[in-house]
Amino acid sequence: MWHARGVVDDDEIIKAANKFFGKVGSTIKKGAQSAVKAGQTVTGVGRGTVRVVVDPAKATPGGDLRGKVILDLVEPIDARKLVVELRASQRVFDARGGVRALATTTTTIYRFESELDGARSYHKDEVPFTLTVPRDTGGRPQAPAGRIGDVARAVSSVVQPTTGPVEWRVIATLVIAFGRDLEHAVDVAVV
């Protein structure tokens, strides 16, 4: 038996096309959102900020540095830990054959890390901390003033590399599993 096909008008075709392309657009949008989220996880861009504030940003050897880590994240992030670190580094100019090389290296002479919080979901938080500056970082003793000191410095510059001043930093890091860590550092003065 033969049946005549139903007549389809233009409105029904347009409705069906809108429905089809709406589903295609929705699928593409979800894929793009997943790609953006994956990109944020890998690069850390667009996830928010971690800031460290030290007030005052000055301490004496054996004294304390007090501050807080401020988390301002776009959405909650599961992280392994939140740490704050006190680091002292010094630039070293290598001496080769009695002549100073143009290249320098930076050497860490002190590093102390304190875990402020463990594995959990982080979002918008302010976490206080206190770090104690060591009394001695194991730096080279200073030569005495006068002729003996001048001779000691001259011999030292030939025998040992020359070092720059000790630079102190406080670094806050949100350690994220399977993603780029969020970090911020500030320079502090130790006098």
Residue 52 sits in the same domain as residue 14: no
pLDDT average, residue stretch 76-94: 91
Mean pLDDT over each residue of the chain, to the nearest integer: 80
Mean pLDDT across 103-111: 86
- CATH classification at residue 55: 2.60.40.640
Q: Are residues 26 and 51 in the same domain?
A: no
pLDDT above 90 (res 191): no
What is the CA angle 141-146-149, rounded to 5? 35
Paired strand residues for 174: 82, 182
The pair phi, psi for residue 34, each rounded to 5°, is -65, -40
Name every residue whose Cβ is closer than 8 Å to that of residue 83 and which is 6 or more positions away in sequence. 113, 114, 115, 116, 172, 173, 175
Q: Which domain holds residue 39?
A: 8-43
Q: Say whether both 24 and 95 belong to one domain.
A: no
Higher pLDDT residue, 182 or 34? 182
Q: What is the pLDDT of residue 85?
A: 97
* Number of domains comprising the chain: 2
